[in-house]
Structure 1
Amino acid sequence: MPIPKQPILIRIRLRHFTHDPERHPDPEAFKPERFMAMDGHTPEPDPHKFVFGFGRRVCPGSYLADATLFLTIAQSLAVFNMSRPENGDDEQCKPEFLAGVVSHPSPFKNAIKPRSLHHEMLIKSLEDIYPWQQSDGEALGHMTR
């Protein structure tokens, strides 16, 4: 029995909706202000309203995904100062993404430092509770059917 290709078509359509140059000028540029109403600027359609699906097929995990992402970002910003490296230029900080089913940002240079000695001790205490473990990525990479 052949595998239906509908999920791939849905992802392609969603990408078109979120990258339509008529609705989103310069869709590849990072411009969060495009979704805010300011000084005569009409906000562009918010993709959050449809990227998790719509109607009866909406993803039930969208609320969990939103909450997890918010908490991860808030906790990271609470303990780290993030900035460009001192000798970095704008070209080194330009966002680029790797192709694939799940797109990841390509490596880039930045400076991430604990906000204070207290924050550094907090981060190191978590390493004692949750030690670093090697992932199973290498083993999974060698699996065949």
Structure 2
Amino acid sequence: MVRNPEVFRKAQEELDQVIGSGRLPTFDDRGSLPYLECILKEVLRWNPPVPLGIPHRVMEDDSYRGYHIPKGTTLIVNIFAILHDCLEPEEFRPERYAQKTDLPDPREVVFGFGRRICPGRHFAESSVWCIMANVVATLDISRTPEDQERDTFPEFKFTSGFVRHPQPFACSIRPRSSKVTTLIQEAKTHIDL
């Protein structure tokens, strides 16, 4: 969101229209927040956390697009390539999921395939959505004042390995208002009960 402030503002506008400023978003709001849903898909597409997935072994002879795959072959699915097979893959554009419905849903790719699909995928995806909705509703995230003054954006780098993690970068994170701080404290009180 630091590099795509227009996306962040549009998500905040959608949340403000749906939930207002008097409460935090809940799962009941999810169906009413299509742009936020597009952002979630784009985040997963743009940088899948496990770019090559888990190796699978073929249990019987198979074929794919005319290629023979013998029984016992180990397959490693290039999730990154699957999700980057679109126009302007390096661009972060959530709108692609509202405009073009024939793109694969990243949620059906990033958690694996077949019998070895992640059993916690629904919990993980729902947790990410809930965190994302609450961050967008409660915080303003932007470049640091220094980056704004120089009109530069932080460079994003990721760790290499089986799981990719973003490396630290500087940004500014502030509550959207003092009312938001109160809402968060009230939510914490309900959790502590």
How high is the TM-score relative to the length of structure 2? 0.47
Distance apart, 1:111 and its partner CA: 1.3
Q: Match of 2:91, SS? A: coil
Residue 170 of structure 2 is aligned to residue 109 of structure 1: yes
Aligned residue number for residue 24 of structure 2? none
How many Å separate the matches in 1 of 2:147 and 2:102? 32
Q: Which position in structure 2 is the counterpart of 1:79?
A: 138
Query: Is residue 84–residue 111 contact of structure 1 (8 Å, CA) maintained in 2?
Result: yes
> What do you get for the CA RMSD once the two structures are aligned?
3.3
Q: Tell me how far apart the structure 2 counterparts of residues 78 and 34 of structure 1 sit (CA, whole Å).
A: 23
Q: Is the 8 A contact 1:35 1:44 kept in 2?
A: yes
Q: Deviations over 1:46-98 (max 9, x none)?
A: 22222222333332211101110111112222322222233425642443322
Contact 1:79 1:115 in 2 (8 A): yes
- Does residue 6 (structure 1) correspond to residue 6 (structure 2)? The answer is no
Query: Aligned partners of 1:102, 1:34: CA distance in 2, in Å?
Result: 25
SS at match of 2:86: coil
Query: Aligned in 2, Cα 1:33/1:94: closer, same or farther, shift over 3 Å?
Result: farther
Q: In the alignment, what sits opposite 1:17?
A: 82
- Greater relative CO (CA pairs within 8 A, separation 6+): 2
Deviation at 1:121, TM superposition (A): 5.5
Q: Letter of the aligned partner of 2:89 in structure 1?
A: P
Amino acid at match of 1:33: E
Matches within 5 A, 1:59-138: 59-89=118-148, 91-120=152-181
| Partner deviation per Cα, 1:90-116 (whole Å, 9 max, x = no partner) | 642443322222211122222111122
CA distance 1:113–1:51, shift in 2 (3 Å): same
8 Å contact kept, 1:84–1:109: yes
Ranges of 4+ aligned residues in structure 1 off by more than 6 Å: none
Residue 118 of structure 1, CA deviation: 4.1
Aligned residues: 117
Distance in structure 2 (CA, Å) of the matches to 1:32 and 1:63: 21
Q: 1:45 Cα deviation (Å)?
A: 2.6
The alpha carbon displacement at 1:122 in A equals 6.1
Classify the secondary structure of the residue corresponding to 1:113. Answer: strand
Equivalent residue in structure 2 for 1:30, among 92, 98, 101 = 92
SS at match of 2:119: coil
Q: What amino acid maps onto 2:157 in structure 1?
A: E
Q: CA deviation at 1:123?
A: 5.6
Residue identity over aligned pairs, in percent, reads 37
